[in-house]
């Protein structure tokens, strides 16, 4: 991944708020990240951390109301997606940005054939004729490893297994040769042996097609095997960001450190007892004024209550380019 290359996607200070009867929920708070060409960015976090809402905000997939994207910039190919008219945004979705969702059963339309659903973006965004689109759709199914592709175009989603359906979803997302593929927990609903198949497929497709990918997951194991860079989210914020090896070798944020310890290993020494992160994830009511992790943090300082920490680089590189963390505490200070 060339470090100097200009990013394909650049998100700055994104803020998304849900308006509910009980008040405003600040689901995404000043999230900034970028994606370089051909890079795979892993986004880790538990439910409610804002990882999916961030990605859906980017391309206007959240229903408004209750959601409101309140600030920030999303630059894709020099344009700010947040300023685009709905029509133009629709042209971006599907053509420039592909999306793969968690559950392949609910994201495919059960009453249309798979071929129909792959051909739709091809005819809509690429102006293909039906015959051209059919050929391309068969190519795509073949690309994602579905045997007998041309015949299978006539099948309906229920005639495929879970793993095959996810392959179809990937084929649809890739149909218009997007610059960015956003995969939101694409393997969470799948069994491990099928997950391994899909991960192999994505690795293979990256080599063939070279698109940039955002891969959202809560599974640190999946991230370790596939990502170039990792962004850890908690309470609607980016709490840590680093290249994958660096993050696993040298985690800085207390949440990341705890998360890595709470997952039992498959090999090596077996811990007598699992490390626990006490308490519950926060409810993001109101403007964030304190660190969202403070209540569960083993290293919380008085300052954490008073001031929401900003992301700071720990390796001299600009924030977002090397290893950065949003935390007042530092491991060195603790040992000094």
Partner 1 sequence: MPEPLVKVRDLKMHFPIHAGILRRKVGAVKAVDGVSFDIFEGETLGLVGESGCGKSTVGRALLRLYEPTSGSVVIGGEDIATLAPDALRKKRPTMQMVFQDPQASLNPRMTVAAIIGEPLDEHTDWDEAKKTERVYELMDQVGLNRRFANRYPHEFSGGQRQRIGIARALALNPRFIVCDEPIAALDVSIQAQVVNLLEDLQDRLGLTYLFISHDLSMVRHIADRVAVMYLGQIAELSPRDALYAAPLHPYAQALLSAVPEADPAVEATRQRIILKGDVPSPANPPKGCNFCTRCPKVIPLCREEKPRLSEVQPGRFVACHLVAANQDTAGGHASPGPEVREHNQQGELS
Residue whose C-alpha is closest to residue 45's, from 217, 199, 175: 217
Stretch touching partner 1 by CB under 8 A, among 86-94, 135-143, 161-169, 317-325 = 161-169
Stretch touching partner 1 by CB under 8 A, among 21-29, 65-73, 117-125, 240-248 = 240-248
Please report whether residue 248 would count as binding partner 1 according to CB under 8 A.
yes
How many residues are given for the chain?
336
Please report whether residue 207 would count as binding partner 1 according to CB under 8 A.
no
Q: Which residues pair with 184 in a beta bridge?
A: 216
> Pattern 18-37, binding to partner 1, x per CB under 8 A?
--------------------
CB of 292 to partner 1, least distance (A): 13
> Among residues 29, 57, 197, 237, which is the contact residue for partner 1, using CB under 8 A?
197
> Pattern 286-305, binding to partner 1, x per CB under 8 A?
----------x---------
Which of residues 73 and 219 has its CB atom nearest to partner 1 in the complex? 219
Size of the site for partner 1 (CB under 8 A): 46
Rounded CA gap, 253 and 83, in Å? 34
Residue whose C-alpha is closest to residue 75's, from 30, 34, 40: 34
Which of residues 75 and 194 has its CB atom nearest to partner 1 in the complex? 194
Please report whether residue 59 would count as binding partner 1 according to CB under 8 A.
no
> Among residues 274, 289, 334, 336, which is the contact residue for partner 1, using CB under 8 A?
274
> Among residues 220, 231, 239, 327, which is the contact residue for partner 1, using CB under 8 A?
220
Name the pairing type of β-strands 9-20 and 67-76: antiparallel
Please report whether residue 263 would count as binding partner 1 according to CB under 8 A.
yes
> Among residues 85, 111, 131, 192, which is the contact residue for partner 1, using CB under 8 A?
192
Q: What secondary structure, in 3-state letters, does 266-332 show?
A: CCCCCCCCCCCCCCCCCCCECCCCCCCCHHHCCCCCHHHHHCCCCCEECCCCCCCCCCEECCCCCHH
Do 49 and 236 meet the contact criterion of CB atoms below 8 Å apart? yes
> Among residues 80, 148, 191, 204, which is the contact residue for partner 1, using CB under 8 A?
191
Q: Which residues pair with 68 in a beta bridge?
A: 17
Rounded CA gap, 241 and 168, in Å? 31
Please report whether residue 315 would count as binding partner 1 according to CB under 8 A.
no
Backbone phi and psi for residue 330, each to the nearest 5 degrees, phi listed first: -135, 140
- Integer-rounded Cα radius of gyration of the chain: 21
CB of 270 to partner 1, least distance (A): 7
Long-range contacts of 314-318 (CB under 8 A, 24+ apart): 314/252
Please give the residue ranges that form the binding site for partner 1 (CB under 8 A): 46-47, 161, 163-164, 191-197, 199-200, 218-225, 244-245, 248, 258-260, 262-267, 270-278, 280-281, 296
């Amino acid at each position: 991944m060339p470090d100097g290359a200009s990013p394909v996607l650049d998100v700055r200070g994104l803020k998304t708020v849900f308006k509910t009867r009980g008040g405003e929920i600040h689901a995404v708070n000043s999230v900034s990240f970028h994606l370089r060409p051909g890079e795979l960015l892993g986004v880790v976090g538990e439910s409610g951390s804002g990882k999916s809402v961030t990605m859906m905000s980017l391309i206007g997939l959240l229903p408004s109301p209750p959601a409101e994207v309140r600030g920030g910039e999303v630059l894709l190919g020099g344009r700010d997606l947040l300023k685009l008219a709905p029509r133009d945004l629709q042209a971006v979705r599907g053509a420039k940005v592909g999306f793969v969702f968690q559950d392949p059963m609910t994201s495919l339309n059960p009453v249309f054939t798979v071929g129909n659903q792959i051909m739709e973006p091809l005819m809509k965004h690429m102006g293909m004729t039906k015959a051209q689109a059919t050929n391309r759709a068969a190519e795509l199914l073949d690309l994602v490893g579905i045997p007998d592709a041309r015949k299978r175009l006539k099948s309906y989603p229920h005639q495929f297994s879970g793993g095959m359906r996810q392959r179809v979803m990937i084929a649809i997302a890739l149909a218009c040769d997007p610059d960015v593929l956003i995969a939101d927990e694409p393997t969470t609903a799948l069994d491990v042996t099928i997950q391994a198949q899909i991960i192999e497929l994505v690795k293979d497709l990256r080599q063939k097609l070279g698109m940039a990918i955002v891969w959202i997951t809560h599974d640190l194991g999946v991230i370790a095997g596939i990502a170039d860079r990792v962004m850890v989210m908690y309470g609607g914020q980016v709490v840590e960001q680093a290249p994958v090896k660096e993050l696993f070798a040298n985690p800085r944020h207390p949440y990341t450190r705890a998360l890595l310890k709470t997952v039992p290993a498959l090999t090596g020494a077996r811990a007598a007892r699992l490390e626990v992160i006490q308490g519950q994830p926060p409810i993001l009511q109101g403007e964030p004024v304190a660190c969202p992790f403070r209540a569960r943090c083993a290293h919380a300082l008085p300052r954490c209550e008073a001031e929401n920490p900003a992301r700071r680089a720990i390796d001299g590189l600009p924030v977002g380019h090397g290893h950065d963390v949003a935390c007042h505490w530092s491991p060195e200070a603790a040992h000094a």
